[in-house]
Structure 1
């Protein structure tokens, strides 16, 4: 079957905190549209690896839809999905916002409508729908990133949407974060999610390839650490080593980072993730998603207390495949560096880590936690 180039998506998708930024842009560190898609209205509940996003070929195209001239084409998707499948009242499905919205339409090779989405002038994304037979083929991801690209091109500083709760993980992968509590809309539980743009960070991450990019990146904020940690980890093949004072939740307890750890842990039976934690007080008091994941995947993820000689060691670092690293001279100071291809320095830090690990002990207090 002949293939059609997907509506071009350039690497200008940028988010807010590292928990968000990496899933949309750093993800473009690799190529290939994701092979999963949103289900009606929002997304499916599966975890989507947005770190593999970019332009590719497919059996469909995405383009802007004209309103009201192409209302019928939009109707052929929205009514079967929202009205018939989900029971949304028809009066709620069509509103005055359609007149001023930026509409997207996905078409198959026969130019039949298969998916829709829209963006309002206030930055709200909505009416994302994919016909059942076209789900799980990356169309939802393509629609979402195309809207994000358009929003950035017209100068919007932020976006928001009302995600069905089953789709929260999907939107989190694209950089959206939850805002407020769950609420009911059209009889379905939803969560408001928001996304803010950071183009400088996005461009920086676009250049960062594990084992290839020798440039030194300077880190100053939590967002810097979040973004590079997740971007680098998304490219890992086998190993992750973390030497940390507190397992800072702003960096390590974010959905993108935890999901990246999970993907590495389950990628191969040779995957090995080791964490040296100097002070577990915060984790014990507040809980931690990464610790919970380690309990579930204990064959791949292990947490230890470092040997006595390293309990007061001031430097914190993350090592990925002994190729890339993030490093801070002082755990209490966010000033640091990241490099995606410095085997010499990474090996030096790995030697320190291995020694602290060898004389370390399992953290039994964490093992007893029921998070």
Structure 2
């Protein structure tokens, strides 16, 4: 079904936006009015979906926190127009709107709507919680610009274990986006092999937070960092090293043993299906795959051999916290 989208500030928004939210959230879903109408409306962009004859059928809002993360919310389609692809078209429009402005998109999804958002590149990033008497989970997309570029061609883009496509990258920005998207979905295992823990790639707040969340989420979390050279880490404080020393039972770093065969290409493995692979140690070129169990198994075997032959870093162990 063809649909158009109009964007408004709250001050200039037509009454249709309030009417649709009233009908869907307050009347249909029994959300208390004091929870539905909040101060965020004043700072958000509001979107109205209309049919070619200008019939209003759906709404959503988009706002940011600190100008870095975009938040999608209050998505609603009128009952008589559901099941026609309008909600998906509205979500795609919001992702495209946000793509050039934010490196991350977040939303709070009702549990029954999780598959709907997964089809458009969002993954669950929290436990279930109650919001206005309705079970919700937090979901995020860590690469909105890349998702927006393929959203009409791929289903469940960047979803670990689901997206079988190949994501090529040739810039550090895309490398970082894909790395975080892989790391952010790891449920238990994260293995990283590189020459050094380059500060531009790995000494970043968002990556630290993603790895910290994985380390604390599961008592059997296994985060292994295997590198050739630890001297840059000794000379300058590194967020991953600090995290590793605070969570020594969950995060471990080893140095490769050069007397044994080692790989010439760096890679990162997430659980049994996600891989990010670079063609060499010095350029941001390679590919990511979110569902490639065969390749992950082969690389895991290579990683395990190098890991078993590796040694711990005495210099890092002696650094003060």
Q: Normalization by structure 2: what TM-score?
A: 0.59
Q: Deviations along 1:51-103, whole A, 9 cap, x unmatched? A: xxxxxxxxxxxx95226999xxxxxxxxxxxxxxxxxxxxxxxxxxxxxxxxx
Q: Which runs of 5+ in 2 are unaligned?
A: 16-24, 46-62, 76-89, 107-142
Alignment of 1:139-178 (within 5 A): 141-142=71-72, 153=97, 158=101
State the superposition RMSD in angstroms.
Answer: 4.0
Aligned length: 228
1:344, distance to aligned residue in structure 2 (A): 1.2
Partner of 2:140: none
1:260 aligned to 210, 230, 238, which one? 210
Does residue 115 of structure 1 match 2:39?
yes
1:288, distance to aligned residue in structure 2 (A): 0.9
Q: Deviations along 1:12-71, whole A, 9 cap, x unmatched? A: xxxxxxxxxxxxxxxxxxxxxxxxxxxxxxxxxxxxxxxxxxxxxxxxxxx95226999x
1:250 aligned to 197, 200, 203, which one? 200
Q: Normalization by structure 1: what TM-score?
A: 0.52
Partner secondary structure for residue 274 of structure 1: strand
2:234 aligned to 284, 293, 296, which one? 284
Q: Which runs of 5+ in 1 are unaligned?
A: 1-9, 11-62, 71-105, 129-139, 160-171, 176-196
Partner secondary structure for residue 319 of structure 1: strand
1:314 aligned to 250, 261, 264, which one? 264
Question: In 2, Cα distance between the equivalents of 1:127 and 1:294?
Answer: 29
Question: In 2, Cα distance between the equivalents of 1:370 and 1:216?
Answer: 42
Question: In 2, Cα distance between the equivalents of 1:353 and 1:345?
Answer: 12
Partner of 1:190: none
Higher relative contact order (CA 8 A, sep 6+): 1
Q: 1:285 to 1:67 in 2, by over 3 A?
A: same
1:109, distance to aligned residue in structure 2 (A): 3.2
Q: Deviations along 1:218-249, whole A, 9 cap, x unmatched? A: 11111122111111111111100000111122
Partner secondary structure for residue 322 of structure 1: coil
Q: Deviations along 1:162-215, whole A, 9 cap, x unmatched? A: xxxxxxxxxx8659xxxxxxxxxxxxxxxxxxxxx9734544596011112111
Partner of 1:326: 276
Are the counterparts in 1 of residues 9 and 44 from structure 2 also a CA contact under 8 Å? no
Alignment of 1:337-356 (within 5 A): 337-356=287-306
Question: In 1, Cα distance between the equivalents of 2:64 and 2:209?
Answer: 25
